[in-house]
Amino acid sequence: MSTAPARSEPMVRCEGLVHIYRSEGLEVVALQGLDLSVDEGEMIAIVGRSGSGKTTLMNVLAGLDWPSAGLARVAGWDLAQLDEGGRATYRTTVVGYVWQQAQASLTAELDAVKNVQLPMVAGRRPWAARRAEAVELLAAVGLGERLHSRPAQLSAGEQQRVALAVALANRPPVLLADEPTAQLDGATAHAILEDLRRMQRELGLTAVIVTHDPQVAHHVDRVVQIRDGRTSTETRWVADETGARADELVIMDRAGRLQVPPALLAATGLAGRVRVVRHGRGVLILPADSGPAVGGSPDAGAPDG
């Protein structure tokens, strides 16, 4: 079993991560050598089309699915090396999970304060300590007056807040959230995101959110896009003299592969074979018929600019 992480390494680190599962007798490669690094205390959003590998990645990070190949480490735990007992401990102490549907985290017969206490039972903490912690968490998400309400008596937004408190009940260092605002209206979704960001900062959490909600981009440190089972682009918000602007970068993996954004491919007509030539400190990607002399040869330097 893994010990606490060395602080020099990212809280979440995936290198060449592959996950293959079987569906109707066929093998499906959901993650195809994915690389991802998330620093301690960072909050990122994962975006991508349906089938791109987002949910599979979250299931691997949550300890619900096994890596088929490559590296997946969270808080120093090597997820490929865990046995069933190790996975149970990992899911209880290292990661908190907020599901898309809050009901998946809640027990209908229990009120809010008992729902939040439920994950703490395995830790064998005294009842009074568990209840005090649950009351504190519910107050932190704005539900101090709804301690004794059952899920059916709460609005969708209130249920999601209870689900967030449940995910944080054991004070895990990593929070995973899969489409936490998908079932909510715009105003409620915005409020939930503000609560999530505030809790993340107050508790020093490392948070990974899968989303289709464009609002999320303004609540996180960066947005990572997954395409075809690999990370393809990364967007950060950068402040300059014109205000905040989105700065998009293409991610190059350890093998030197990158995924050029589809809009650029469509605009340039690049496809199939291309010519890659050195240009100062970078490279140019040119049509194959452009000839090796354009922009300099692959091995020769070219002037900057």
Q: Which residues of 162-175 are buried (b: 16+ CB within 10 A; e: fewer)?
A: bbbbbbbbbebbbb
Closest CA relative to residue 212, chosen from 249, 178, 251: 178
Burial class (CB in 10 A: 0-12, 13-18, 19+), 183: middle
Alpha carbon 234 to its chain centroid, in Å, reads: 12
Q: Give me the pLDDT at residue 119, please.
A: 92
Give the pLDDT score at 39.
95
Pull the structure tokens for residue 216.
């999320």
Of 188, 208, 185, nearest to 55 (Cα)?
A: 208
Superfamily of domain 12-240: P-loop containing nucleotide triphosphate hydrolases (3.40.50.300)
What residues contact residue 159 under an 8 Å CB cut-off, 6+ apart? 102, 103, 106, 151
Q: How do residues 92-125 score in pLDDT, each as one tens digit?
A: 999 999 998 889 999 999 999 999 999 998 777 8
Nearest alpha carbon to residue 273 among 285, 284, 260, 257? 285
Could you tell me the residue ranges of all domains in the chain? 12-240, 260-305
pTM (2 decimals)?
0.83
Per the rule left: phi > 0, alpha: psi between -120 and 50, beta: everything else, 6 is beta
Instruction: With a cut of 70, list the residues of the chain below it in pLDDT.
Output: 1-7, 237-246, 292-305
- pLDDT, residue 3, reads 43
pLDDT of residue 242: 64
pLDDT score of 240: 61
Q: Helices in the chain by DSSP H: which ranges?
A: 54-61, 84-93, 112-117, 127-140, 156-167, 186-203, 262-268
